[in-house]
Amino acid sequence: MIRSEQKPLIGAGIIAVTGALVIFAGVSALKNVFGYPDIIRAEPGVIMERLAATVHITPYLYYFGVGGAGICMFLFSILFGRILTREGEDIFSALGRGSGMVAGVLLYSGIIRYSILFPRLAELRGSGVYDDKTIDLVFYSLNSYIGDSLAEHAQFTFTAIMILCFGISILRTKVINRWVAVFGFITVPVIFIGNLEQFGVKAAFAFNRSGAKMLAIWLLFAGISLIIKGVKTKTAADQ
C-alpha cells in the first residue's frame, strides 16, 4: 500500500475507535442515569417521568454518546470504503460504504429524539396543561416510527449489510486482520435476529441489545487494525 494511504488508514481507524468508545461510554452512563436499556421498552409515562427527572444529563448522553456513534459510522464508512476501493475491491466496498452511511444517518437522526423531541413532550406532560393520555399517545406514535422503525430496525438492517459487505471486502483485500471480518460475520445474524422484535418476537430484545454491543466491538477491532496498518505503512515508506 502506498504512503498516501497512511492518513486515510489512521483517520478511519481513529474514527472507528471513537465510535466504539462513545457507544461504550454512552450506554454505560445511560444505564446508571436513565436505566437503559430496559427503560426504552417501558410505558410512555414511565419513560417521560424518568426523562424529566434526568433532563439535565440524559438528553446529552443520548446526543453525544449514541448520536455521536452515528456520525462516526457515517464518516468511517466513507473512509474505509475508499481504502477498500483503492485496494481493488469495488463491489462490496461500495455496498458497505453506502449502507454504513445510511445506517449512520438513521442512528444519529433517530436517537436524538431523546435529546430534543422527548424532553419537550416530557415537559408538556409535566406542565399539567395537556391530558397525560394524549401526550402518551403522541410519544408512543412518534417513538414507534422514529425509534422502533428507523433508529432501530432500519438502522440495524443497514448496519448488518455494512458489516457483511465490508467483511467480504476485507477477506478479498486482506487490508486488515481477517478476524475483523469473521467477528463481523458472527455479528450479522445476531443483529438480524434482534430485528425480529419489531415483528412481535419479544425474546429478540436480548439479541437487539447484544447486536449493538457487538457493533461497538467490531468498530473497535476494525479501528485498531486500521491504525496498526497505518503505522506499519508509514514505517515501510520511511525505510
With 0-12 / 13-18 / 19 or more C-beta atoms within 10 angstroms meaning exposed / middle / buried, residue 37 is middle
Q: Give mean pLDDT, residues 194-219.
A: 93
Is residue 166 pLDDT above 70, yes or no? yes
- Whether residue 37 has a cis bond before it, omega within 30° of 0: yes
Res 239: pLDDT: 52
Condensed to tens digits (0 to 9), the pLDDT of residues 26-80 reads 999 999 999 998 899 899 999 999 999 999 999 999 999 999 999 999 999 999 9
What confidence score (pLDDT) does residue 98 get? 98
8-28 pLDDT per residue, tens: 899 999 999 999 999 999 999
pLDDT score of 203: 87
Question: Which residue, among 201, 196, 189, has the nearest Cα to 160 in the 3D structure?
Answer: 189
The pLDDT, as a whole number, for residue 7 is 82
- Domain segments of the chain as ranges: 3-238
Of 177, 1, 188, whose CA–CA distance to 82 is shortest?
Answer: 1
Residue 1 pLDDT class (50, 70, 90 cuts) = very low
Tell me the three cell numbers of residue 107: 442512528
What residue has cell string 431523546?
Answer: 114
